[in-house]
Amino acid sequence: MDIAANLATLKVDIPAHVGIIAVSKTHTLHEIMEAYKAGHLVFGENRVQELIEKQPMLPGDIEWHFVGHLQSNKVKFIAPFVAMIHSVDSLKLLREINREALNNDRMIKCLLQFHIATEETKYGLDLAEAAGLLGSPDLRQMKNIKICGVMGMATFTNDMNLVRKEFQLLKSIFNQLKASHFQYDETFSEISMGMTSDYDVGIEEGSTMVRIGTAIFGERFKL
């Protein structure tokens, strides 16, 4: 795998306004360093244990994004360094992120994860749950988190029409929340959608951040 070449190809393909999160789960420090040396600084992991093993071994200017399901009791392990958590799906989790961010005197950016796929296995909120969360009086007290937008994962399928519909749903959720809760908040601006198999569709439907593993690092051989 020529990781530098893969990144160069993607950077030609992906418009400059769309951020690329290099999802490095299961890949080695050496592979991550290849991307880093090619000038890429933004990486994502989906498991707390793996992330906290890797992070201390890698350069301090890497911007780490957490993209997997996160349990409240594990927030404390990543709060000292994580830049953005893409997978916020409850007020309880948000409270814990705020608490641990405060303990570390930091600000942690968050995205609300929405369930847009037809598969039941995927995590995430629906619009009503998000409205409940955003209407909570607690939220105004949380000074160490910043809700920057939404994230979603499409169904794992070759049916790109279905994927497109799901991304359109996420975009419409973003628009509705923008109008109802974030009209004057410029930082609510991110739509994290698109992976190796569907980032092109994601970008066509308004993605501002794509989370790409395989197209950068190659196939994953372990879970």
Contacts to ligand PLP by CB under 6 A:
23, 25, 46, 67-68, 153, 195-197, 211-214
Q: Please report the sign of the dihedral spanned by the C-alpha atoms of residue 191, residue 188, residue 12, residue 203.
A: positive
> Which residue in the shown chain puts its C-beta closest to ligand PLP?
213
105: alpha, beta or left? (left if phi > 0; alpha if psi -120 to 50):
left
d(CA 129, CA 65): 24
209 three-state secondary structure: strand
- Cα–chain-centroid distance for residue 17? 16
Complex with ligand PLP: residue 101 or 111, whichever CB lies closer: 111
Q: Which residue do the tokens 């071994």 mark?
A: 57
CB of 31: closest distance to ligand PLP in angstroms? 13
Rounded to the nearest whole angstrom, what is the least distance from the CB of residue 212 to ligand PLP in the complex? 5
With tokens 């707390």, the residue in question is 48
Residue among 104 and 197 whose Cβ is closer to ligand PLP:
197
Question: Would you say 37 or 220 has its CB closer to ligand PLP?
Answer: 220
d(CA 212, CA 24) in angstroms, rounded, equals 9
Q: Which is nearer to ligand PLP, 90 or 197 (CB)?
A: 197
Cβ 218 to ligand PLP, closest distance in Å? 9
Contact 61/32 with Cβ under 8 angstroms? no
Select from 174, 109, 107, 182 the least CA-distant residue to 148: 109
**Residue 66 or 188: which CB sits closer to ligand PLP?**
66
Rounded least distance, CB 172 to ligand PLP, Å:
21
Least Cβ distance, residue 164 to ligand PLP (angstroms): 17
Which residues touch 56 (CB under 8 Å, ≥6 apart)?
none
Distance separating alpha carbons of residues 199 and 38, to the nearest angstrom:
21
State which residue, 144 or 196, has the beta carbon closest to ligand PLP.
196
**CB 67 → ligand PLP: shortest distance, Å?**
4
